[in-house]
């Protein structure tokens, strides 16, 4: 039988909390692996800052990317860059 405290299912709440804790741990491990990959790339001579920008661009939809590139070019012209 599920214990109910103040109208809350304690077992169900505990289950949700444990699932989130497990996912948070997985997320931390993935973040560490990503940092290791960036470190490896940097040691091979790659510019990590540029790699991060490239990843950001690759996540964008083609339409958004085209719009951003147009706007960037317009702004460059406006300030003489």
12-43 tens-digit pLDDT: 999 999 999 999 999 999 999 999 999 999 99
pLDDT tier for residue 1 given thresholds of 50, 70 and 90: low
DSSP 14-78: HHHHHHHHHHHHHHHHHHHHHHHHHHHHHHTT--HHHHHHHHHHHHS-HHHHHHHHHHHHHHHHH
Average pLDDT score over residue span 51-76: 95
Which phi and psi (to 5°) does residue 20 adopt? -65, -40
Whole-model pTM: value is 0.71
pLDDT at 67: 95
Q: Model confidence over 36-63: pLDDT tens digits?
A: 999 999 999 999 999 999 999 999 999 9
């Amino acid at each position: 039988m599920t214990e109910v405290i103040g109208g809350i299912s304690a077992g169900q709440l505990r289950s949700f909390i444990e699932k989130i804790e497990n996912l948070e741990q997985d997320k931390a491990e993935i973040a560490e692996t990503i940092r290791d990959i960036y470190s490896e790339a940097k040691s091979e001579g790659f510019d990590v800052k540029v790699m991060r920008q490239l990843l950001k661009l690759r996540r964008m939809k083609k339409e958004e990317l085209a719009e951003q590139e147009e706007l960037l070019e317009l702004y460059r012209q406006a300030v003489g860059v």
